[in-house]
Amino acid sequence: MKKVITYGTFDLLHYGHIRLLERARALGDYLIVGLSSDEFNEKEKHKVTFQSYEERKKLLEAIRYVDEIIPEESWEQKKEDVHKYDIDVFVIGDDWKGHFDFLEKEGVEVVYLERTPEISTTLIKENLHGNK
């Protein structure tokens, strides 16, 4: 079985997220999503989420492309996770291009997927606040 892993906050879930998850799952047989915890978002990513970890997790659990969800609690955990979960392919948005190439030395294929340009959580939040 070919295992794929991706990471993200997935706040205000939108079709760009769904598209990323669909394309990630198409690269293997089993997709694990590392979902950023509220604490990790706040302390390390300097993000305040609209939805809590549990709410975001519940939404991801309903998506057919997602087989398993694990909490993402640190930047360093990615290297540990590829070994712990016997990962074959690491997938992330192309806005991170080059940042995770070091995982190739761990025997993992690294794929940077193009983002859906017309949608983002940032854009949704700006529109909610009238900052178009």
Please name the helix (run of DSSP H) or strand (run of DSSP E) that holds residue 7, with its range, or none: strand 3-8
Residue 77: closest CA among 22, 112, 104, 40: 40
For 26-84, give the DSSP string.
Answer: TTSSEEEEEEEPHHHHHHTS----SS-HHHHHHHHHT-TT--EEEEE--STHHHHHHHH
The residues assigned a catalytic role are 45, 47
Measured between alpha carbons, how far is residue 110 from residues 11, 50, 87, 114 in Å? 23, 29, 11, 13
